[in-house]
Amino acid sequence: MENSFIRSVKISLILVYLVIAAGSIVRMTGSGMGCPDWPKCFGYWIPPTERAQLDWKSDHQYAQGQVIIMNEELRVANSHFKSSEAFEEKYWDYYTQHDYALFNAYHTWIEYINRLLGALAGLVVLVMTVLSFWNRKKNIAHPTISFLILLGMGFQAWLGKTVVDSNLAPYRISLHMGMALLIVLGLIFLLFSTEKKAFSIAGNTKIKIWAWLAVLLTLFQIGLGTQVRQFVDLQMHESPALWLDPAPIKFYVHRTLSLLVLGVHIMLFWMLRKMKRNVRVFNQILGLIGLEIFTGILMFYFDFPFSSQPLHLIIAALLFGAQSFFILQLMSNRNTYDL
């Protein structure tokens, strides 16, 4: 059972990262409103593939909640009924959450796959939580953290609905991202506590201070990044071709801070090297920072080339996960490796 639990933690982590990746692809392709409602999509569990499926039809069985597009407006069936020869107003309410009434199969299916991945991740986290209870006498932390992650996934799903309902309000997207990182943190904790090879690097105080500084700086940088993204989102609404022209001060702070983030990590690397320690996850952290700066440069200096936005986000999420793992290694007093 222990092995099944470990496997479920790993699969959950992979799926959560896939959901983050899918979410960023939704944003890059502008598919966020591909499904105007939630959790169904145009009132269907499997969404339409053609615009014609959303036209009103006579002699057709409609289920409550199904959506049609009429005169560029969304209408929702208010009951189960069979339509007659003529359109009857009494069966149809206006959709009031927002006034977005376009159908684009490509956007709809990208958004739908994102939701499917989210549901799959939720299901695996549920299995993980059930499995965690088997070992509760030996380790109460596992069921507790697993259950919190499960609640987090539920909350995240609800937040996803509020993002759609708010017509993709930028600050809600940032909140959604913050919650995703908390879920990653919980899963990394479980991974660390079950990973037999994850030795502790009980570091000295100096190393610990630098490590915390590095993590806090990165967290601040991620927060600032979401603010830059909010600016880009608003700008895209007003004049899509401009991206960061003119760029706000917070962008320049974000760009400059990346050098500080890099500097602090190089310093840590050098300290670990001096102590003849080659910590694998730390090498990965350095590589991720390099890639993050590279994709940032691509976006700003080369006009946001295709896939640079999702990559920038996914690398930031991986960086956060790797840093959480590193901090856990540093703070834990489990066997081996004294600095």
Alpha helices, H only, the chain = 2-28, 105-132, 141-165, 170-194, 205-238, 249-274, 280-301, 308-331
Phi then psi for 61, rounded to 5 degrees?
Answer: -80, 120
Contact residue for ligand HEM among 6, 67, 202, 289 (CB under 6 A):
289
Q: Figure out which of the listed residues 42, 292, 318, 329 binds ligand HEM, where binding follows CB under 6 A.
A: 292
Is residue 280 within 8 A of residue 260, CB to CB? The reply is no
How near is the Cβ of 249 to ligand HEM at its closest, in Å?
A: 13
For position 309 contacting ligand HEM by CB under 6 A, the verdict is yes
Interatomic CA distance for residues 93 and 135, integer angstroms: 51
Does 285 interact with ligand HEM (rule: CB under 6 A)?
A: no
CA dist., res. 275 & res. 210, Å (int): 15
Distance of CA 53 to the CA centre of its chain: 31
Give the whole-angstrom CA distance, residue 214 versus residue 272.
14
Residues 82-111, one symbol each (x = binds ligand HEM by CB under 6 A, - = not), give ------------------------------
Q: Per CB under 6 A, which of residues 15..44 are in contact with ligand HEM? A: 24
Contact 221, 258 (CB under 8 A): yes
3-class SS of residue 53 = helix
CB of 190 to ligand HEM, least distance (A): 23
Q: How far is the CB of 65 from ligand HEM (least distance, A)?
A: 31
When binding is defined by CB under 6 A, the residue of 37, 312, 322, 327 that contacts ligand HEM is 312
Q: Which is nearer to ligand HEM, 126 or 244 (CB)?
A: 244
The window from 134-142, 143-151, 182-190, 294-302 that contacts ligand HEM (CB under 6 A) reads 294-302
Which of 121, 183, 202, 228 binds ligand HEM (CB under 6 A)? It is: 228
Q: From CA 159, how far away is CA 313, in angstroms rounded?
A: 19
Q: Does residue 300 interact with ligand HEM by CB under 6 A? A: yes
Site for ligand HEM in 249-268 (CB under 6 A): 254-255, 258, 261
- Rounded Cα distance, 111 and 29, in Å: 10
**Angle, helices 105-132/2-28, rounded to nearest 10 degrees:** 160
Among the listed ranges 37-45, 142-150, 159-167, 312-320, the one in contact with ligand HEM (CB under 6 A) is: 312-320
Determine the size of the site formed for ligand HEM (CB under 6 A). Answer: 27
Single residue of 15, 177, 181, 314 touching ligand HEM by CB under 6 A: 177
- Exactly one of 146, 226, 323, 329 binds ligand HEM (CB under 6 A); which one? 226
Assess 286 for contact with ligand HEM (CB under 6 A).
no
d(CA 311, CA 292): 8
16 with 117: CB under 8 angstroms? no
- Compare residues 25 and 190 and give the one whose CB is closer to ligand HEM: 25
User: Contact at 8 Å (CB) between 153 and 183?
Assistant: yes
d(CA 84, CA 316): 54
Which DSSP letter does residue 338 get?
B
Q: Is 299 in the site for ligand HEM (CB under 6 A)?
A: yes
232 binds ligand HEM (CB under 6 A): yes
Residue 137: both structure tokens together: 């006498």
Q: Contact between 229 and ligand HEM (CB under 6 A)?
A: yes
Instruction: Catalog residues that contact ligand HEM under the rule CB under 6 A.
Output: 24, 177, 218, 221-222, 225-226, 228-229, 232, 244, 254-255, 258, 261, 289, 292-293, 296-297, 299-300, 309, 312-313, 316, 319
